[in-house]
Amino acid sequence: MPQPKPILIIGAGGVGNVVVRKCAQRPDVFGEIVLASRTKSKCDAIAADLGDPRVRTARVDADKVPELVALIRDAKPAMVLNIALPYQDLTIMDACLETGVHYLDTANYEPPDVAHFEYSWQWAYRERFAKAGIMALLGCGFDPGVTGVFTAYARKHYFDELHYLDIIDCNAGDHGKAFATNFNPEINIREITQQGRYWQNGQWVETAPLEIHRPVEYPEVGPRESYLLFHEELESLVANFPSLKRARFWMTFGQEYITHLRVLQNVGMTSIKPVNYNGMEIQPLQFLKAVLPEPSTLGEGYSGKTSIGCQIRGVKDGRERTYFVYNNCDHAECYRETKAQGVSYTTGVPASIGAALMLQNTWMKPGVWNVEQFDPDPFMAELMVRGLPWHEQIDQPLAFADVLENQR
Ligand code: NDP
């Protein structure tokens, strides 16, 4: 029997809270858990509530490689789960290289001073990780994460070639606040206010922010207006499934959310360009984050469901076929289990599954990898029993049966 292995989790926000609790539920896989973050009191609060003697806490500024290296040498984890922010991806990867431990994250690197994210910075670590004999698993949340596993599962079991992929992400929940983001506000708003982009016939097509939208029917939720965004898994999925002729990502937003966002944008509050205020440089978006509710505080009283899935068209044995695979997740049930809302939960559960598969050597290959590059079956099996059961519809009509090429 393999021994449980110690891990280091960095980040104690909405998602970090779920990851710690889900890992603590599996003492057969995870041994001592060190939970570290910039604000140690948040780690302490989670650990106290959990009351598990295997969880201890620490303070770390993950922007600083020497601090990370010292913490890793002290905690001696088998792997680091980066559940802080995308800004810390490279420093944490550097520290993993220096100490020879495996790495996992849920969002790709983004430089703090440019609202731009892509995998190139992290893919550039491939050779160094491979040479060091350690593994990095990138984007192991829900989207990115489960959406990549869903796509790989579809390819493995139902298609010879994938042609059209539409990832549809609906949060039909209600947290009762006038305006709040379900994950880190800074990262969330940077993602939504940038240009839209989708893959078509071998190239990226750009759109204005939230320019293309249409109602989409979500299972058990009904029709919701869905907006075309660029989302990071599109970049790795079109690289790993080159037969894709088109790949798009859609997300729902309520009218209230869009109105708040438009006003905040119009008055300059979503800008990342520093402004001088009373002799101090401040970034409007960072200030906005400071006054918005933290994602980890939204869980109590949150009602409704998330519904996220992949709609795929392609061919099998020369015949066209359609496939839809999705998960629906209930905010209130997530809160009962982990004191978190559904968006934190749907991100944290896959991170804990990915980490377990790595430590069990089921998904273990030195180098830097995206989730769709591994066998999807063990991950899909784990989703079923760890709180994110999925459903599939084969050869049923899809929302995107009509090809939208002519829409613009
Ligand atoms: P939160 O803002 O709730 O939490 C972020 C945590 O990271 C906080 O504890 C914060 O500390 C900590 N942190 C920030 N900077 C540092 C630093 N320099 N050193 C140490 N700790 C730091 O965000 P979420 O939990 O909602 O999101 C966490 C991650 O999950 C993000 O990268 C987000 O993009 C990703 N995500 C991925 C999804 C997916 O499906 N793949 C979906 C949703 C989120 P402090 O309290 O001091 O600020």
pTM here is: 0.96
User: For residue 408, is pLDDT > 50?
Assistant: no
> 134-148: per-residue pLDDT in tens?
999 999 999 999 999
CATH of domain 146-339+389-407: 3.30.360.10
Share of the chain above pLDDT 70, in %: 98
Which ligand 1 atom is nearest residue 86's CA?
A: 32
Average pLDDT over residues 382-390: 98
C-alpha to C-alpha distance for 7 and 152, rounded to whole angstroms: 27
pLDDT band of 190, cuts 50, 70, 90: confident
Question: CB of 136 within 8 A of CB of 95?
Answer: no
Q: Burial letters for 149-185: b for 16+ Cβ neighbours within 10 Å, e otherwise? A: bbbbbbbeebbeebbbbbbbbbbbbebeeeebbbbbb
Instruction: Report CA(96)–ligand 1 centroid distance (Å).
Output: 19
> 28-64: per-residue pLDDT in tens?
999 999 999 999 999 999 999 999 999 999 999 999 9
- Topology classification of domain 5-142+341-385: Rossmann fold (3.40.50)
Instruction: Report CA(27)–ligand 1 centroid distance (Å).
Output: 25
Average pLDDT over residues 345-361: 98
User: For residue 395, is pLDDT > 50?
Assistant: yes
Q: Helix or strand or coil: residue 28? A: coil
pLDDT, residue 402, reads 56
Average pLDDT over residues 216-220: 96
Who lines ligand 1 at CB under 6 A? 10-16, 37-39, 42, 60-63, 83-86, 88, 106-107, 141-145, 183-184, 187, 294-296, 343-344, 347
Question: Which residues make up the CATH 3.30.360.10 domain(s) of the chain?
Answer: 146-339+389-407
Q: Which residue from 37, 68, 94 has its CB within 8 A of the most atoms of ligand 1, so it is best to mutate?
A: 37
Nearest CA to ligand 1 atom 31: 85
Which ligand 1 atom is nearest residue 186's CA?
A: 2
Nearest CA to ligand 1 atom 11: 38
pLDDT band of 405, cuts 50, 70, 90: very low
Question: Which residues make up the CATH 3.40.50.720 domain(s) of the chain?
Answer: 5-142+341-385
pLDDT, residue 401, reads 58
